[in-house]
Each structure stands twice: as structure tokens, then as C-alpha cells.
A and B are shown apart, each in its own frame.
Chain A
């Protein structure tokens, strides 16, 4: 099973700042990596797929990069609604999720 490790566990930033979230795979997943956002009490929402493609309706401030084992989700300028938990997911071999990064208001 491919393990995904997300860092940091918690990220404290202010609106307007840039957020950088990391996801590392235990073995190469090529570019078969997605990012999801989940707000409290809500379902997850697909943000990024195939490492760098924004899903339908996702604002341009969200971007993804990486391939192989190291991936990054960047939020260029944080809006109040961006504070949430973010999960990465690989679908290269079966599918697994990372443990999540909580993005909180500083």
C-alpha cells in the first residue's frame, strides 16, 4: 500500500498570505495525485487532479505541482473561506488518502 505523508499537520496563517502544503508518497505515484478540501461539517471537495489540474469551478489561486513522490498544493493569497482541512490522495496503485493538513487562521 502506498502511504501518503502530509506536512505540516497544522499550518497557521493570516488571510492574504501564501500557503504551501506538502504531500509525500512512499513510492512513485507518477502524477496520479489529487487534492481535496474539507470544511467542518461538510463533504470534501475536489480541488486538483493529476497533480496540477484544477477541477471545475476552483479559483486560480489554488495550484498544484510535483510528480513522482513529492507534491505541493499552493494557495497564492488566502481568502477567509480557504481555512479548512486539505487531503491529498493517490490513485496510481489502488487509492489512499493522506492524513490531512489543517489550515487555520493565525
Chain B
């Protein structure tokens, strides 16, 4: 059974930084692209960033480009999201989502339960 477990969320001041982690199990992590998708309180889903299985290709939404960095450690079966220069509008639950192929094809077939990030002074 695929399991994705996010951690690292919390309260951070505007302009601050936070790193999210997603521990994966139940599948061969190194064979699949991975993504982060967020959901602001009471709002819809917004894709944030994606990364191919080998880390060769990275992709970002315009709203986070230059501030967020997605990465992975295939030896630890873990996905990361480094978030810098955080803004109030980054407040959301951040979901880790497994892609359907090694390359990013944007088909999210498994999701973690999410990690809440709150940006506030």
C-alpha cells in the first residue's frame, strides 16, 4: 500500500523559511515523479511543484518560482519542499502527491494527508 507522510509544517513569520518533508513507502520511490499540491483554507487545489524520478527535471508554479525548491533523496525515499520568503498567501495545507510515471505527467494517483503551513506575524 502506498503511503506518503508529510512533516515539517507549522507557523512561520512572513519572510521566513520552512522545509517540508514527505516520507514515502509501499512503492519504488525512485521510479516515480513526485509533486507538491497545496490547498488554502476553504479553497481549491493548486499545484505547486514537481520533480522527475531522477531529479533531472523540476517544475514550479509561477506563484512560487524563485522562492520554493523541490528536491528528493531516493536513498531515503523522501521528497522535500524548501520554502523561502514566505508570504501570507502561502498559508495552506501542503500535500505530497505521487505521479503516475517517472517523468512528470501530472496525474496524481496517491496523496499524503497534508501538512499545514501558516504564515503570519
Binding site for B on A (CB under 8 A): 34, 36, 38, 42-46, 49, 55-56, 87, 89, 91, 94-100
Q: Which residue of A lies closest to B111 (CB)?
A: A43
In the assembled complex, the Cα of A99 lies from the Cα of B39 at a distance in Å of: 11
Q: Given contacts A38-B45, A97-B47, could you give 5 more A-B pairs where the C-beta distance is less than 8 Å? A: A34-B107, A43-B114, A44-B45, A46-B109, A95-B106
B-chain residues with CB within 8 Å of residue A46 when the two chains form the complex: 107-110
Chain B interface: which size bin? 10 to 19
Question: Contact at A100–B44, with CB atoms within 8 Å?
Answer: yes
Q: What are 6 A-B contacts with C-beta separation under 8 Å?
A: A43-B112, A43-B113, A44-B108, A46-B109, A87-B44, A96-B47
Contact of B105 among A42, A45, A55, A91 (CB under 8 A): A91
Q: Which residue of A lies closest to B50 (CB)?
A: A95
In the assembled complex, the Cα of A44 lies from the Cα of B114 at a distance in Å of: 10
| Chain A nearest CB, measured from B38 CB (Å) | 11
Contact of A95 among B47, B109, B111 (CB under 8 A): B47
